Protein backbone atom coordinates (compact mmCIF):
# COMPACT_ATOMS: atom_id res chain seq x y z
CA UNK A 1 0.00 0.00 0.00
CA UNK A 2 1.36 3.42 -0.97
CA UNK A 3 2.43 5.77 1.82
CA UNK A 4 0.39 8.98 1.78
CA UNK A 5 0.76 11.02 4.96
CA UNK A 6 0.33 14.45 3.40
CA UNK A 7 -1.78 15.39 0.37
CA UNK A 8 -1.58 19.10 -0.44
CA UNK A 9 -4.22 20.90 -2.52
CA UNK A 10 -2.83 23.24 -5.17
CA UNK A 11 -5.22 25.55 -7.10
CA UNK A 12 -5.27 24.43 -10.72
CA UNK A 13 -5.67 27.95 -12.07
CA UNK A 14 -2.58 29.47 -10.43
CA UNK A 15 0.57 28.73 -12.40
CA UNK A 16 2.87 30.31 -9.82
CA UNK A 17 1.58 28.08 -7.05
CA UNK A 18 1.80 24.99 -9.25
CA UNK A 19 5.44 25.78 -10.01
CA UNK A 20 6.17 26.40 -6.33
CA UNK A 21 4.64 23.05 -5.43
CA UNK A 22 7.62 21.27 -7.01
CA UNK A 23 9.70 22.10 -3.94
CA UNK A 24 7.07 21.28 -1.29
CA UNK A 25 7.80 17.90 0.38
CA UNK A 26 4.22 16.65 0.50
CA UNK A 27 3.76 12.98 -0.34
CA UNK A 28 1.18 13.94 -2.96
CA UNK A 29 0.06 17.12 -4.69
CA UNK A 30 -3.63 17.47 -5.55
CA UNK A 31 -4.04 19.87 -8.45
CA UNK A 32 -7.53 21.21 -7.97
CA UNK A 33 -10.05 21.78 -10.72
CA UNK A 34 -13.07 21.95 -8.42
CA UNK A 35 -13.66 24.32 -5.50
CA UNK A 36 -10.61 26.57 -5.92
CA UNK A 37 -11.34 27.31 -9.59
CA UNK A 38 -14.06 29.83 -10.57
CA UNK A 39 -16.56 28.68 -13.18
CA UNK A 40 -15.18 31.09 -15.78
CA UNK A 41 -11.69 29.58 -15.44
CA UNK A 42 -12.55 25.88 -15.58
CA UNK A 43 -11.34 25.40 -19.17
CA UNK A 44 -8.08 27.33 -18.77
CA UNK A 45 -7.34 25.61 -15.46
CA UNK A 46 -7.87 22.21 -17.06
CA UNK A 47 -5.31 23.03 -19.74
CA UNK A 48 -2.85 24.39 -17.16
CA UNK A 49 -3.15 21.30 -14.98
CA UNK A 50 -2.77 18.96 -17.94
CA UNK A 51 0.45 20.68 -19.01
CA UNK A 52 1.84 20.54 -15.45
CA UNK A 53 1.36 16.87 -14.58
CA UNK A 54 4.44 15.40 -16.22
CA UNK A 55 6.86 17.98 -14.80
CA UNK A 56 5.51 17.58 -11.27
CA UNK A 57 5.75 13.80 -11.53
CA UNK A 58 9.38 14.09 -12.61
CA UNK A 59 10.06 16.10 -9.45
CA UNK A 60 9.26 12.98 -7.44
CA UNK A 61 5.75 13.84 -6.27
CA UNK A 62 2.65 11.71 -6.56
CA UNK A 63 0.38 13.82 -8.76
CA UNK A 64 -3.34 13.75 -8.09
CA UNK A 65 -6.05 15.87 -9.70
CA UNK A 66 -9.37 16.71 -8.10
CA UNK A 67 -11.85 16.87 -10.95
CA UNK A 68 -15.28 18.46 -10.88
CA UNK A 69 -18.17 16.34 -9.64
CA UNK A 70 -19.82 13.85 -11.98
CA UNK A 71 -23.04 15.85 -11.69
CA UNK A 72 -21.42 18.78 -13.54
CA UNK A 73 -20.72 19.09 -17.25
CA UNK A 74 -16.99 19.40 -16.57
CA UNK A 75 -16.10 15.97 -15.18
CA UNK A 76 -15.82 14.06 -18.44
CA UNK A 77 -13.70 16.79 -20.05
CA UNK A 78 -11.51 16.93 -16.93
CA UNK A 79 -10.82 13.21 -17.07
CA UNK A 80 -10.09 13.20 -20.79
CA UNK A 81 -7.58 16.05 -20.42
CA UNK A 82 -5.67 14.84 -17.36
CA UNK A 83 -5.36 11.09 -17.90
CA UNK A 84 -1.82 11.29 -19.25
CA UNK A 85 1.58 9.88 -18.24
CA UNK A 86 2.58 11.13 -14.80
CA UNK A 87 -0.90 11.16 -13.26
CA UNK A 88 -1.15 8.92 -10.21
CA UNK A 89 -4.75 9.33 -9.14
CA UNK A 90 -7.99 11.20 -9.70
CA UNK A 91 -9.86 12.61 -6.70
CA UNK A 92 -13.59 12.23 -7.19
CA UNK A 93 -15.60 14.79 -5.19
CA UNK A 94 -19.08 14.11 -3.81
CA UNK A 95 -18.68 10.33 -4.00
CA UNK A 96 -21.92 8.93 -2.64
CA UNK A 97 -22.31 5.39 -3.99
CA UNK A 98 -20.67 2.51 -5.80
CA UNK A 99 -22.40 3.75 -8.96
CA UNK A 100 -20.43 7.00 -8.77
CA UNK A 101 -17.19 5.04 -8.57
CA UNK A 102 -18.13 2.77 -11.46
CA UNK A 103 -19.13 5.73 -13.65
CA UNK A 104 -15.81 7.41 -12.97
CA UNK A 105 -13.98 4.11 -13.50
CA UNK A 106 -15.52 3.74 -16.95
CA UNK A 107 -14.62 7.31 -17.96
CA UNK A 108 -11.05 6.85 -16.74
CA UNK A 109 -10.69 3.52 -18.58
CA UNK A 110 -11.85 5.16 -21.81
CA UNK A 111 -9.36 7.99 -21.33
CA UNK A 112 -6.55 5.52 -20.56
CA UNK A 113 -7.22 3.72 -23.85
CA UNK A 114 -7.18 7.00 -25.77
CA UNK A 115 -3.89 7.97 -24.10
CA UNK A 116 -2.40 4.51 -24.82
CA UNK A 117 -2.02 3.84 -21.09
CA UNK A 118 -2.58 0.53 -19.30
CA UNK A 119 -6.22 0.33 -18.23
CA UNK A 120 -6.32 0.52 -14.44
CA UNK A 121 -3.07 2.48 -14.14
CA UNK A 122 -4.72 5.64 -12.79
CA UNK A 123 -6.11 5.18 -9.30
CA UNK A 124 -9.15 6.79 -7.72
CA UNK A 125 -9.37 8.59 -4.38
CA UNK A 126 -13.02 8.96 -3.45
CA UNK A 127 -13.90 12.15 -1.58
CA UNK A 128 -16.77 11.36 0.79
CA UNK A 129 -18.38 14.65 1.80
CA UNK A 130 -22.06 14.00 2.40
CA UNK A 131 -24.27 12.03 4.83
CA UNK A 132 -25.22 9.68 1.98
CA UNK A 133 -21.56 9.09 1.25
CA UNK A 134 -20.89 8.26 4.90
CA UNK A 135 -23.74 5.71 4.93
CA UNK A 136 -22.26 4.09 1.80
CA UNK A 137 -18.58 4.35 2.78
CA UNK A 138 -17.73 0.64 2.57
CA UNK A 139 -19.66 0.27 -0.68
CA UNK A 140 -17.59 3.13 -2.11
CA UNK A 141 -14.28 1.83 -0.77
CA UNK A 142 -14.82 -1.63 -2.26
CA UNK A 143 -16.52 -0.66 -5.53
CA UNK A 144 -13.50 -1.04 -7.81
CA UNK A 145 -9.87 -2.21 -7.75
CA UNK A 146 -9.07 1.30 -8.93
CA UNK A 147 -10.06 2.78 -5.55
CA UNK A 148 -6.94 3.84 -3.68
CA UNK A 149 -8.87 5.03 -0.67
CA UNK A 150 -11.39 7.46 0.75
CA UNK A 151 -10.71 11.01 1.86
CA UNK A 152 -13.15 12.79 4.16
CA UNK A 153 -14.59 16.21 3.24
CA UNK A 154 -15.59 17.85 6.54
CA UNK A 155 -16.59 21.25 5.16
CA UNK A 156 -19.24 19.94 2.77
CA UNK A 157 -20.34 17.35 5.31
CA UNK A 158 -21.01 19.93 8.04
CA UNK A 159 -22.74 22.14 5.48
CA UNK A 160 -25.16 19.37 4.57
CA UNK A 161 -25.68 18.48 8.22
CA UNK A 162 -26.35 22.14 8.98
CA UNK A 163 -23.91 22.16 11.88
CA UNK A 164 -20.99 24.41 12.74
CA UNK A 165 -17.51 23.01 12.39
CA UNK A 166 -15.65 23.48 15.66
CA UNK A 167 -12.03 23.24 16.73
CA UNK A 168 -12.92 20.34 19.04
CA UNK A 169 -14.48 18.40 16.16
CA UNK A 170 -17.23 16.52 17.99
CA UNK A 171 -19.54 17.04 15.00
CA UNK A 172 -17.19 15.13 12.65
CA UNK A 173 -16.09 12.35 15.01
CA UNK A 174 -18.68 9.84 13.82
CA UNK A 175 -18.13 10.20 10.05
CA UNK A 176 -14.37 9.98 10.51
CA UNK A 177 -14.70 6.73 12.44
CA UNK A 178 -17.05 5.33 9.79
CA UNK A 179 -14.62 6.15 6.99
CA UNK A 180 -11.61 4.74 8.84
CA UNK A 181 -13.40 1.47 9.60
CA UNK A 182 -14.76 1.15 6.05
CA UNK A 183 -11.34 1.71 4.52
CA UNK A 184 -9.62 -0.84 6.74
CA UNK A 185 -12.38 -3.34 5.99
CA UNK A 186 -11.86 -2.78 2.26
CA UNK A 187 -8.07 -2.74 2.48
CA UNK A 188 -7.64 0.80 1.14
CA UNK A 189 -6.24 4.08 2.50
CA UNK A 190 -8.17 6.31 4.90
CA UNK A 191 -7.31 9.99 4.48
CA UNK A 192 -8.53 12.58 6.98
CA UNK A 193 -10.02 15.90 5.86
CA UNK A 194 -8.57 19.41 5.82
CA UNK A 195 -8.00 21.65 8.82
CA UNK A 196 -8.88 25.10 7.57
CA UNK A 197 -7.28 27.39 10.17
CA UNK A 198 -3.80 27.66 8.63
CA UNK A 199 -2.51 29.73 11.59
CA UNK A 200 -3.48 27.18 14.22
CA UNK A 201 -0.68 24.60 14.17
CA UNK A 202 -1.62 23.30 17.62
CA UNK A 203 -5.20 22.61 16.50
CA UNK A 204 -3.93 20.98 13.30
CA UNK A 205 -1.59 18.74 15.27
CA UNK A 206 -4.31 17.73 17.74
CA UNK A 207 -6.66 16.81 14.90
CA UNK A 208 -3.93 14.89 13.04
CA UNK A 209 -2.93 12.93 16.15
CA UNK A 210 -6.55 11.94 16.73
CA UNK A 211 -6.87 10.95 13.07
CA UNK A 212 -3.84 8.67 13.33
CA UNK A 213 -5.29 7.11 16.47
CA UNK A 214 -8.57 6.53 14.61
CA UNK A 215 -6.74 4.59 11.91
CA UNK A 216 -6.26 7.22 9.22
CA UNK A 217 -3.11 6.94 7.11
CA UNK A 218 -2.73 10.62 6.24
CA UNK A 219 -4.43 13.98 5.90
CA UNK A 220 -5.55 16.46 3.25
CA UNK A 221 -3.80 19.83 3.56
CA UNK A 222 -4.45 23.32 2.22
CA UNK A 223 -1.19 25.15 3.03
CA UNK A 224 2.50 24.25 2.65
CA UNK A 225 3.14 25.08 6.31
CA UNK A 226 0.89 22.17 7.30
CA UNK A 227 3.07 19.58 5.57
CA UNK A 228 5.90 19.25 8.10
CA UNK A 229 3.87 18.86 11.34
CA UNK A 230 1.43 16.40 9.76
CA UNK A 231 4.26 14.36 8.18
CA UNK A 232 5.83 13.98 11.59
CA UNK A 233 2.59 12.91 13.26
CA UNK A 234 1.89 10.22 10.67
CA UNK A 235 5.48 8.91 10.77
CA UNK A 236 6.74 6.43 13.39
CA UNK A 237 9.16 7.97 15.86
CA UNK A 238 12.64 6.52 16.41
CA UNK A 239 11.43 5.17 19.73
CA UNK A 240 8.43 3.47 18.10
CA UNK A 241 10.65 1.89 15.46
CA UNK A 242 13.14 0.63 18.04
CA UNK A 243 10.32 -0.82 20.14
CA UNK A 244 8.76 -2.51 17.11
CA UNK A 245 12.08 -4.13 16.20
CA UNK A 246 12.37 -5.44 19.74
CA UNK A 247 8.86 -6.85 19.62
CA UNK A 248 9.47 -8.63 16.32
CA UNK A 249 12.75 -10.13 17.51
CA UNK A 250 11.26 -11.25 20.83
CA UNK A 251 8.30 -12.91 19.11
CA UNK A 252 10.60 -14.57 16.57
CA UNK A 253 12.68 -16.00 19.43
CA UNK A 254 9.52 -17.23 21.17
CA UNK A 255 8.32 -19.03 18.04
CA UNK A 256 11.71 -20.70 17.70
CA UNK A 257 11.14 -22.17 21.17
CA UNK A 258 7.66 -23.37 20.24
CA UNK A 259 5.93 -20.63 22.20
CA UNK A 260 2.95 -18.66 20.83
CA UNK A 261 3.50 -15.69 23.14
CA UNK A 262 6.18 -14.02 25.22
CA UNK A 263 6.85 -10.71 26.92
CA UNK A 264 8.89 -7.67 25.97
CA UNK A 265 9.53 -4.68 28.23
CA UNK A 266 6.96 -5.98 30.67
CA UNK A 267 4.12 -6.45 28.17
CA UNK A 268 2.67 -9.58 26.62
CA UNK A 269 3.41 -10.25 22.95
CA UNK A 270 1.38 -12.55 20.75
CA UNK A 271 0.76 -12.83 17.00
CA UNK A 272 -1.44 -9.70 16.63
CA UNK A 273 1.02 -7.56 18.59
CA UNK A 274 3.93 -8.82 16.49
CA UNK A 275 2.02 -8.21 13.26
CA UNK A 276 1.26 -4.64 14.33
CA UNK A 277 4.98 -4.12 14.96
CA UNK A 278 5.83 -5.50 11.51
CA UNK A 279 3.36 -3.10 9.91
CA UNK A 280 4.96 -0.17 11.71
CA UNK A 281 8.42 -1.23 10.51
CA UNK A 282 7.13 -1.55 6.95
CA UNK A 283 5.68 1.97 7.16
CA UNK A 284 8.97 3.34 8.47
CA UNK A 285 10.85 1.63 5.62
CA UNK A 286 8.43 3.01 3.04
CA UNK A 287 8.82 6.54 4.41
CA UNK A 288 12.62 6.22 4.42
CA UNK A 289 12.60 5.17 0.76
CA UNK A 290 10.29 8.03 -0.19
CA UNK A 291 12.48 10.55 1.59
CA UNK A 292 15.71 9.04 0.30
CA UNK A 293 17.02 8.06 3.72
CA UNK A 294 16.56 4.32 3.45
Q: Per-residue pLDDT for 293 more than 70?
A: no
d(CA 148, CA 220): 14
d(CA 121, CA 117): 7
What 8-state DSSP symbol labels residue 168? Answer: S
Query: Which positions ≥6 away from 203 have C-beta within 8 Å?
Result: 167, 195, 197
Q: Per-residue pLDDT for 82 more than 90?
A: yes
Give me the residue spans of the domains in the chain. Answer: 6-233, 238-290
* pLDDT tens-place string over residues 86-120: 999 999 999 999 999 999 999 999 999 999 999 99
Least confident of 82-96, 166-180, 273-287: 273-287
- Superfamily classification of domain 6-233: Phosphoenolpyruvate-binding domains (3.20.20.60)
Q: Per-residue pLDDT for 142 more than 60?
A: yes
d(CA 149, CA 218): 11
Which pLDDT score is estimated for 133? 98
Which pLDDT score is estimated for 11? 96
Phi (first) and psi of residue 99, to 5 degrees: -60, -40
Helices (H), the chain: 15-20, 42-58, 75-82, 98-114, 131-135, 137-141, 154-161, 173-186, 201-214, 227-233, 238-256, 271-290
Query: Which positions ≥6 away from 92 have C-beta within 8 Å?
Result: 67, 69, 70, 100, 101, 104, 124, 125, 126, 127
Mean pLDDT for all residues in the chain: 95
First to last CA, the chain: 17
Which pLDDT score is estimated for 138? 98
CA angle 281, 219, 18 (to 5 degrees): 115
* pLDDT tens-place string over residues 194-248: 999 999 999 999 999 999 999 999 999 999 999 999 999 999 989 999 999 999 9
Q: Which is higher by pLDDT, 250 or 31?
A: 31
Q: Which of 77, 102, 105, 100 lies closest to 90, judged by CA? A: 105
Amino acid sequence: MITLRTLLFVPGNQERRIDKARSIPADALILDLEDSVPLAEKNSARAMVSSSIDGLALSGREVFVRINALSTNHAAADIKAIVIPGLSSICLPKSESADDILKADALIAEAEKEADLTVGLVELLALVETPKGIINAYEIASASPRVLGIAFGPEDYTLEMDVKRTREGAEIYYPRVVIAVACHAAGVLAIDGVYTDIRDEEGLSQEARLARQMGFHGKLLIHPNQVSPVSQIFSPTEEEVAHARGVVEAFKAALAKGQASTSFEGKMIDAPVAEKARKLLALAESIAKREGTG
